[in-house]
Homo-oligomer: A and B are copies of this chain.
Amino acid sequence: MSRDALLQALRDAVGEAHVLCGGDLSAWELDWRRRWRGKALAVVRPGSTAEVAAVVRACAAHGTPLVPQGGNTGMVGGGVPDASGTQVLLSLQRLNRVRALDAANLTLTVEAGMVLQAVQQAARDAGLWFPLSLAAEGSCTIGGNLATNAGGTQVLRFGNARELCLGLEVVTADGEVWDGLSGLRKDNTGYDLRHLMIGSEGTLGVITAATLKLFPQPAATMTALAATGSLAHCVALLRLARARLDAGLTGFEVMGRFALSLVEKHFPALPRPLPGAPWTVLLELADVEGEAPARARLEAVLGQALEQSLIDDAVVAGSIAQARALWHLRESIPLAQAEEGLNIKHDIALPVSAIPAFCAATDAALQHAIPGVRLVNFGHLGDGNLHYNVQAPAGGDGPAFLREREAEVNRIVYDAVAAHGGSFSAEHGVGQLKVHEMAERKPAVALALMRRIKQALDPQGLLNPGRVL
């Protein structure tokens, strides 16, 4: 009865066609990595902010929990319902319009369900640049990017998703609309609700629209690979490159030898410059002046790094196609490791200065615990963000390794992360996957403050329950 009344209220809110209860709902109930399969009470697809608010009010009136979802590309199970069949899946995908573009103010206001690539394209169509970029950009939504404070490949220069957002529109747990859309670079009028909502993974409110920062398009982008002998040399190269290129340095990715060997093994057709280096760095320079000065600047930095023996060799891409091929190498690592078999993934952040010591200590601790274990170590070194993934010894059984060793491996890795001043979730968030790490590893004072805030803004606990806290 109560379920029927809720369904009727949802149908009244969004129209019958947009309340889905039967058939194959796995596009919303199953995460893309197929790690969590839930069962929704219903999938509801509102088409406007007012409809989102009506859905939230209906759920609040019935005491029914809500799970907001964007493109369903999350890594931590934050956007799929649990298996109870009691949670409403609130899909934001139909909120996908550009609301406003203000070129003189360098801002773009879009709805939450707009796919990231479409947001990038809207900026490009105006001769401008929205720099947020990540592997899932063809299907993730900007609302999800903000709810999870997404990272990606341009963080070094532009910051995480939160730094690219000036204002939000949010539906509160009461089903009210907070209109915090704003094209202002400065606004010191009270608490920063925007930053509180960003990264809260849908547990404090439902983001329905956002005003984003845009940037001038660079005149040229230049990409290079450099081979180094150690992580310490990578860190020294980063320091040199930042000092010489400043904000022009837009990418600084690092790839360990074993990670690249998997690309070589599983995608043998890919070109592989600088083979065999212990560490390979991908550098990207965005330049306002043009291709020739960009190349000269990047070559000068690499030349100085060679002279100082920070690197052993380097190549600068000679064309856009070559630059894409270098990025393709980097982006093929996740696929190549998947071909090699399941592994135990860690999305960790550390102070950049602590990375060499962290890796030395943790590699050794893992080898000691599991002789022959292999490390797929790569990531955004410029941001101190490693994807430090632990693969079974050669010939091992991936699923069994994951099943039997995950807890032990996680403990070794996260203990070392904590000892080096790091974080157990750099850019993927907490979701369901790391909710136990939160409870165990976050300082008690921080957890208590977060719980008070959750209680204050969602006293019924209906927004994405069981996630984050």
A449 to chain B, nearest CB (A): 6
Stretch in A23-31, A58-66, A421-429 with 4+ CB within 8 Å of B: A421-429
Q: By the criterion CB–CB under 8 Å, are A200 and B195 in contact?
A: no
Query: Please, which residue of chain B has its CB at the minimum distance from the CB of A468?
Result: B190
**CA of A108 to CA of B316, assembled, Å:** 34
Q: By the criterion CB–CB under 8 Å, are A239 and B104 in contact?
A: yes
When the two chains form the complex, which single residue of B148, B288, B443, B446 contacts A245, counting CB atoms closer than 8 Å?
B288
**CA of A425 to CA of B188, assembled, Å:** 5
Stretch in A14-22, A370-378, A389-397, A452-460 with 4+ CB within 8 Å of B: A452-460
Q: Which residues of B contact A380 (CB under 8 A)?
A: 186
Q: Which A365-423 residues have C-beta < 8 A from chain B?
A: 380, 383-385, 421-423
Query: Please, which residue of chain B has its CB at the minimum distance from the CB of A384?
Result: B185
A161 to chain B, nearest CB (A): 10
When the two chains form the complex, which single residue of B193, B216, B450 contacts A242, counting CB atoms closer than 8 Å?
B216
* Binary contact readout A183-196 vs B (1 if CB under 8 angstroms, 0 otherwise): 11111111111011
The answer to whether A133 has its CB under 8 Å from any CB of chain B is no
Q: Which residues of B contact A160 (CB under 8 A)?
A: 185-186
A246 and B247 in contact, given A189-B424, A196-B192, A353-B102 (Cβ under 8 angstroms): yes
The answer to whether A344 has its CB under 8 Å from any CB of chain B is no
**CA of A155 to CA of B457, assembled, Å:** 31
The answer to whether A79 has its CB under 8 Å from any CB of chain B is no
Q: Which A114-157 residues have C-beta < 8 A from chain B?
A: 148-149, 151, 155, 157
Q: Which A192-241 residues have C-beta < 8 A from chain B?
A: 192-193, 195-196, 198-200, 204, 215-216, 218, 235-236, 239
When the two chains form the complex, which single residue of B244, B352, B445, B450 contacts A105, counting CB atoms closer than 8 Å?
B352
**CA of A209 to CA of B193, assembled, Å:** 22
Q: Which residues of B contact A162 (CB under 8 A)?
A: 192, 195
**CA of A432 to CA of B428, assembled, Å:** 40
**CA of A191 to CA of B446, assembled, Å:** 9
Stretch in A173-181, A259-267, A322-330 with 4+ CB within 8 Å of B: A173-181
Q: Which residues of B contact A155 (CB under 8 A)?
A: 185-186
Q: Which residues of B contact A443 (CB under 8 A)?
A: 178-180
When the two chains form the complex, which single residue of B192, B246, B449, B454 contacts A288, counting CB atoms closer than 8 Å?
B246
**CA of A427 to CA of B188, assembled, Å:** 6
Q: Which residues of B contact A421 (CB under 8 A)?
A: 182-184
Query: Please, which residue of chain B has its CB at the minimum distance from the CB of A423?
Result: B187
**CA of A352 to CA of B246, assembled, Å:** 26
Q: Which residues of B contact A183 (CB under 8 A)?
A: 351, 353, 384, 421
The answer to whether A106 has its CB under 8 Å from any CB of chain B is yes
Q: Which of A151, A186, A245, A429 has the most B CB atoms < 10 Å from its CB?
A: A186
Q: By the criterion CB–CB under 8 Å, are B423 and A179 in contact?
A: no
The answer to whether A302 has its CB under 8 Å from any CB of chain B is no
The answer to whether A49 has its CB under 8 Å from any CB of chain B is no
Q: By the criterion CB–CB under 8 Å, are A438 and B196 in contact?
A: no
The answer to whether A99 has its CB under 8 Å from any CB of chain B is no
Q: Which residues of B contact A437 (CB under 8 A)?
A: 189
Q: By the criterion CB–CB under 8 Å, are B188 and A196 in contact?
A: no
The answer to whether A172 has its CB under 8 Å from any CB of chain B is yes
The answer to whether A110 has its CB under 8 Å from any CB of chain B is no
**CA of A434 to CA of B185, assembled, Å:** 19
The answer to whether A248 has its CB under 8 Å from any CB of chain B is yes
**CA of A187 to CA of B453, assembled, Å:** 19
Q: Which residues of B contact A426 (CB under 8 A)?
A: 184, 186-188
Q: By the criterion CB–CB under 8 Å, are A198 and B192 in contact?
A: yes
The answer to whether A163 has its CB under 8 Å from any CB of chain B is yes
Q: Which residues of B contact A56 (CB under 8 A)?
A: none
Q: Which residues of B contact A95 (CB under 8 A)?
A: none
The answer to whether A243 has its CB under 8 Å from any CB of chain B is yes
Query: Please, which residue of chain B has its CB at the minimum distance from the CB of A194?
Result: B195
* Binary contact readout A340-369 vs B (1 if CB under 8 angstroms, 0 otherwise): 000000000111111000000000000000
**CA of A243 to CA of B217, assembled, Å:** 7
Q: By the criterion CB–CB under 8 Å, are A149 and B188 in contact?
A: yes
Instruction: Give me the 10 closest cross-chain CB pairs, A-B, nearest first.
Output: A195-B195, A247-B247, A456-B456, A104-B353, A183-B351, A186-B426, A187-B423, A216-B243, A452-B456, A105-B353
Known: A196-B453, A456-B456. 7 other contacts (CB 8 A): A149-B188, A155-B186, A159-B185, A163-B163, A178-B445, A190-B442, A243-B288
